[in-house]
Amino acid sequence: MTNLPGIVITGASGRMGQMLIKTVQASDKARLVGVVDRPGHDWIGHDVGECMGGAALGVAVSDDPLEVFAHAQAVIDFTSPAATVEFAGLAAQARAVHVIGTTGMSEDDLKKIAAAARHATVIRAGNMSLGVNLLVQLTKKVAAALDEDFDIEVIEAHHNKKVDAPSGTALMLGEAAAEGRGVVLDNVSDRGRDGITGAREKGHIGFSAIRGGDIVGEHDVLFAAVGERVVLRHVATDRAIFARGALKAALWGQGKGPGEYDMVDVLGL
Ligand SMILES: NC(=O)C1=CN([C@@H]2O[C@H](COP(=O)(O)OP(=O)(O)OC[C@H]3O[C@@H](n4cnc5c(N)ncnc54)[C@H](OP(=O)(O)O)[C@@H]3O)[C@@H](O)[C@H]2O)C=CC1
Ligand SMILES: O=C(O)C1=N[C@H](C(=O)O)C[C@H](O)C1
């Protein structure tokens, strides 16, 4: 039992943090060795199981990531860009696999994570579910098959607490569509249309974001031509799909060399 990879969860009190803790706890392939939350959070020092309203798990919430990472084989991190950049350096120092689900990262954040991945195993994806990663592959194929007479639009919907847009998943889908078409997304991306925008430019890839209620995550890739439309869709109804994917990544990463990997590597898609 004690030979099982030890996992640390950051952002313990968050929506994904709590789901990840339950997922690791229920697994017979890994053990929960630590959880981290922000300094000053009222869970610090208390048993995380009790904080979550259940039975004690024998794991206290810490505000000292480096001390906790030192006991882990993997850190699963769904927090904020600033926290994730800090954790990337600390996980590398502790020689723990860093699984990153955090979205909304800037180019500068991504450079810092790439730097950490020069001497650490980092697995990062804007969506850890099997279904979305399959949709990414399908999007690439459909975009390669259809010409610019088909306008590509990525439409996403999430809960009203989400802080970043477009979602990490929408960006993955946009990148896949651009790759399928043989173009660079940054050169053809249409985001945040408002006012007198002019007619849609041929070849562009548009993004729209809906925010409301408790929507877990919904993504459509629309290929719209004159007289017909193709729609590829993924609907998440339970955050457990992301947590299962993240745990799978943490286990897959054991023994892998330094580098930045994604869920396509993990799932072998
Ligand atoms: N890749 C994927 O499959 C998925 C990715 N996500 C992404 O994961 C991220 C988190 O989502 P969600 O759980 O809904 O968000 P929440 O806001 O519910 O959770 C984030 C948690 O991280 C904590 N946190 C922030 N900064 C620190 C820090 N410096 N040290 C420790 N903890 C910190 C927050 O604490 P506090 O509240 O005090 O700020 C909070 O508890 C988002 O970027 C989201 O887009 C979500 C689902 C799936
Ligand atoms: O913030 C969320 O909730 C989600 N974030 C990820 C994203 O930005 O795509 C994944 C999922 O859609 C849920």
pLDDT in tens, 42-93: 999 999 999 999 999 999 999 999 999 999 999 999 999 999 999 999 999 9
State residue 192's pLDDT score.
85
Residue 217 in contact with ligand 2 by CB distance below 6 A: yes
pLDDT value at 128 more than 70: yes
State residue 48's pLDDT score.
98
Q: Half-sphere exposure of residue 209, counting CA atoms within 13 Å on the CB side?
A: 17
For 165-172, what is the mean pLDDT? 98
Ligand closest to the CA atom of residue 105: 1
Q: Residue 55 C-alpha to ligand 1 middle, in angstroms?
A: 23
For 139-155, what is the mean pLDDT? 98
Contact 126, 249 (CB under 8 A): no
For 137-143, what is the mean pLDDT? 98
ipTM greater than 0.90:
yes
Q: Is 41 annotated as catalytic?
A: no
pLDDT value at 252 more than 90: yes
Task: In whole angstroms, give the CA distance from residue 56 to residue 264.
Answer: 36
Please report which confidence band the pLDDT of residue 1 belongs to, taking 50, 70 and 90 as the band edges: low
Closest-CA residue, ligand 2 atom 11, reads 217
For 144-149, what is the mean pLDDT? 98
DSSP string, the chain: -TTSPEEEEESTTSHHHHHHHHHHHH-SS-EEEEEE--TT-TTBTSBHHHHTTS---S-BEES-HHHHHTT-SEEEE-S-HHHHHHHHHHHHHTT-EEEE------HHHHHHHHHHTTSSEEEE-S---HHHHHHHHHHHHHHHHS-TTSEEEEEEEE-TT---SS-HHHHHHHHHHHHHHTS-HHHHEEE---SS--SPPTT-EEEEEEE-TT--EEEEEEEEETTEEEEEEEEE--THHHHHHHHHHHHHTTTPPSEEE-HHHHHT-
For 91-113, what is the mean pLDDT? 98
Task: In whole angstroms, give the CA distance from residue 169 to residue 129.
Answer: 10
Percent of the chain with pLDDT over 70: 100
pLDDT value at 163 more than 80: yes
The atom number, within ligand 1, closest to the CA of 13 reads 41
Reported as a single tens digit per residue, the pLDDT across 190-234 is 998 999 999 999 999 999 999 999 999 999 999 999 999 999 999
Cα angle at 211 between 210 and 212, to 5 degrees? 125
Max intra-chain CA distance, the chain = 63
Residue 126 in contact with ligand 2 by CB distance below 6 A: yes
